Chains A and B, each alone.
Chain A
């Protein structure tokens, strides 16, 4: 029997102008299901990873006989087990800071050159070479760093020690090859250069022509145009790009593991050999560790995860603070 709902089921006369409310087409329904499903799956996987890491980390930290955050030692197999992340946190943060200080200005420079200064026939090849840098596997960077960079940096380190030794951080207290945090920082800088360059270049290319013309018409030089119309517009893009690079620097494993000669000594002298990072420590110790040792390493991984979250949060806060001045509402 036909019911009162019948009219809504009747096909509209002539070509359909739109989908009737409440009756999705199969394509829409499948797509909605797929995208919703992917989103939910992602959340479930994230939650599962977090729960697993958290559980194992708590197991390890509860048996730690020393302060997990401040101890300069990693000996979960000892009796009693003693381990702490102080050296790893210091090494990770310091090497990443060095990498950012070196890479961000250079990346912005390259990106500006490609987007605004280079003649078109040069810009393409340069962008391509930068892309190639990103395609090199990190173990190759590590080998190159250990075989080429470490011996060649010895001279630079001597020079820094001699002329900038008074700054404390460039003072060398022990002679030795340059398997130190400074070298790691330089290597990381090269590794994160392509991603920062590529993202900032894209942002600079999108800077609105009309604002560049406005600056030009006021009598701005090429550099002043960049300062007035390009860099402010690209500000949030530069920050996002830097955060992407920083994320890679914080988590980089193989290259650091190959170059650094690890030790559990926390030293402010960046040119002294030794130190360690979270990722390098996990890679170096995971295979030989017993069940409990692995839990301890997982706990350190969790700290790295938290640091990355904090960095990202800070970046978002910086971007949000000047939102009304961003190019988005132009």
Chain B
């Protein structure tokens, strides 16, 4: 089910402001691709163009092509709602629905997609929670609100919610930046397991994290504040961290940036 993402000539705007400019890259299926770069370089914006969440922001607009295997997500006949059902997303801050139980949180996406019998739902919820390494911690309190869990558990609940609908791609926007190191480790282990089934794209500010979890790394940068963000290079993670082909990448990774 994991699909290849092929982006060509993608430019995203906020109103008239050009946030990212002319980005092209390929994201391989069943792999983890990490986006790194300084704040404001547009990596989160770019991530949000991959499931058409960017245009939810007032003034948000996109030009260019995003191919998911052989379907252009920005073709005129494509419904953004349908795109988001095949490209799941995990956010920076854990955001389980506070008014729903743990069970209902995981089942939320399924209930949107159609009618399921209660037994089918239970199966998928159990499978998803196991897939998110959360089942053992919550199996006795599925009917309790998800907001009662710890931050790390909430984030894994959000991952369970995202994978319950069996998306083709899983986008993660700094999923560990609000978590402690132990919860971070749990999520990183989980990412390693999930890449067997999904195409994963992760934005991170933590370069050790990018080095640990990703197969390929993309470095974004911007010329100056107010300038659009650009893709500097994308390569195998080992190469990016050992011997990048662009000087700016090496400067950023070695901390000589700015």
A residues apposed to B, CB below 8 Å: 120, 208, 210-211, 213-221, 224, 228-229, 232-233, 235, 324-327, 329-330
Contact = CB atoms under 8 A, between A and B. Distances in A.
Given A213-B56, A214-B158, A218-B161, A233 B84 contact: no
B105 to A, nearest CB: 9
Nearest to B90: A217
Specify the main secondary structure of chain A where it touches its partner. Answer: helix
Given A210-B95, A324-B148, A327-B98, A219 B162 contact: no
Contact of A218 (B56, B93, B108, B145): B108
A235 B99 contact: yes
B89 interface: yes
Contacts of A215: 97, 108
Contacts of A213: 53, 56, 91, 95
B113 interface: yes
Interface in B37-73: 51, 53, 56, 58
A229 B83 CA distance: 20
A218 B53 contact: no
A232 B89 CA distance: 22
Interface centre among A213, A214, A220 (most CB of B within 10 A): A214
A147 B108 CA distance: 52
B93 A211 contact: no
Contacts of A217: 51, 53, 84, 88-89, 91, 162
B85 interface: yes
A233 B95 contact: no
A224 to B, nearest CB: 6
B145 A216 contact: no
A329 B149 CA distance: 11
Contacts of B162: 217-218
B113 A219 contact: yes
Contacts of A221: 81
A248 B53 CA distance: 43
Interface in B64-118: 81-86, 88-89, 91, 93, 95-101, 108-109, 112-113
A215 B158 CA distance: 11
Interface residues of B, number: 32
B98 A326 contact: yes
Given A217-B91, A217-B162, A325-B100, 11 more contacts: A210-B95, A211-B95, A214-B95, A217-B53, A218-B162, A219-B84, A219-B86, A220-B84, A232-B99, A324-B148, A325-B99
B147 interface: yes
B145 A211 contact: no
A219 B85 contact: yes
Contacts of A228: 97, 100, 108
10 contacts: A213-B95, A214-B91, A217-B51, A217-B53, A217-B89, A219-B85, A219-B113, A229-B97, A233-B99, A329-B147
Interface in B112-142: 112-113
Contacts of B88: 217-218
B19 interface: no
Given A210-B91, A325-B145, A329-B147, A216 B97 contact: no
Contacts of A324: 145, 148
B5 interface: no
A1 B81 CA distance: 83
B51 A232 contact: no
Nearest to A216: B56
Contacts of B51: 217
Contacts of A214: 91, 95-97, 158, 161
B165 interface: yes
Nearest to A219: B85
Contact of B81 (A208, A219, A232, A330): A219
Nearest to B105: A214
Contact of B97 (A120, A211, A219, A235): A211
A325 B143 CA distance: 11
